[in-house]
Structure formats: structure tokens, C-alpha cells
Structure 1
Amino acid sequence: MQSPVRQTSGTAIFSLVAGVLGWTLLPFLGSLAAIVSGHMARSQIRRAPDRLDGDGLAIAGLVLGWASVIIAVLSVIAIVVFFGGLAAILAFLGQQHY
């Protein structure tokens, strides 16, 4: 008896491709698309595990998307802290001359 052939989820493939695009050509939009489509793909795969495959692709897209978002947020925080600290130092030095 043959087992039914499981088809790879197109949404999972899209999630992986969008995750790669989030690191290369479309930094914010690609990452956002990877996160949304990755969650959608995992939900579809969980609802039809006998029909759909590709959970690993969806997870890879999710990891790429979230990693890009986290690095972007940490970069913005680092820039704000650096320039805020620089402004505070300059303000402190400017007050000492009076």
C-alpha cells in the first residue's frame, strides 16, 4: 500500500525566499513577509500534516525574518545610545567653559 505523497507548502517556500530577501534586497519588507508567511505556513502544515510538508522551510524563513528584525532593532538602539551619549558629553563639555 502506497502512502500519499506529501506536497511541499508553497507558503513555506515563500517564507524562506522572503527571509533571504530580507537579508539582501528588501531588508524590512522581506523580513516582515517571511515572518507572516512562516507563521501561516506552519499553521497550514499543522492542520494538514498528511498532505503538506515543509515545516523546516517555514522555520528557516521565520528564523531569518526574526533575526533580521532583532538585528535592526538592536542597531537602532546602539545608534541612539551612541549619539545620545555623544550629545551628553558635548553638552557637559560645553557647560564647563562658562
Structure 2
Amino acid sequence: MNAPIRQTSSLAVISLVFGILGWTLLPFLGSLVAVVCGHMARGEIRRSQGTLEGDGMAVAGLVLGYLVIGLTVLTLAAIFLFFGGLIWFATVFGH
């Protein structure tokens, strides 16, 4: 029984590593790299016809990356809405 040796996609590993870095050392940049590499890894794995593995790592990197990007967008929107509301309140009732 000689099973073919399957290699792990380097892009999948990079996606997972940068997804973790996106939560720790490189908050936004790491997440962008994780998302880009995750999509590239999934395409590479699909095209390899079973010779590459690592789809789970690529998906994990994508999830981590998209979560940080989404939380960043929501945080920025909340900040703008809060300060925009303060400015509106000051202009309307500040006379």
C-alpha cells in the first residue's frame, strides 16, 4: 500500500500564520495577507487534483483575517458615529 505523499500548501500555512498575527502583532496588515493568501491557497489546492492539502489551514486563516477586518470596520464606524453625534449635538444644542 503505497499512498501518495501529499504536501501542505505553503500559501495555506502563510494564511494561518498571518491570520494569527492579525490578532496579535500585525492587526490590519496581517489580516489582509491572511485573506489574500487564504484565497490563493484554496485555489491552488483545488487545482492540484489531490496532491496538495491544507484547505483547513487556509479556511482558518480566512476566518481569522475576515474577523479582524470586520471588527476594524465596525469599530471605525462606531467611532465616526459617536463623534459625529457629538458634533451634531454640540451644533444643535450648543447655542
**Structure 1 stretches of 5 or more lacking a match?**
none
Aligned residues: 95
SS at match of 2:94: helix
Q: Secondary structure at the match of 2:5?
A: coil
Q: Any runs of at least 4 consecutive aligned residues in structure 1 with deviations exceeding 2 A, and if so which?
A: none
- Give the share of equivalent positions with the same residue, in percent: 57
Give the distance between the partners of 1:49 and 1:9, measured in 2 at CA. Answer: 13
Q: What is the TM-score of this pair, normalised by structure 1?
A: 0.92
Q: In structure 1, what is the equivalent of residue 21 of structure 2?
A: 21
SS of equivalent residue, structure 1 residue 37: helix
Query: How do 1:1-98 residues align onto structure 2 when only pairs under 5 Å count?
Result: 1-95=1-95
Q: Unpaired segments of 5 or more residues in structure 2?
A: none
Listed one character per residue, the Cα deviations across residues 6-47 of structure 1 (whole Å, up to 9, x for unaligned) are: 111111011000001111111111001000000010011000
Asked if the contact 1:4–1:50 (Cα under 8 Å) also holds between the matched residues in 2, the reply is no
Aligned counterparts of 2:73 and 2:49: Cα–Cα separation in 1? 35
1:92: how far off? 1.4
Larger radius of gyration: 1
TM-score by length of 2: 0.95
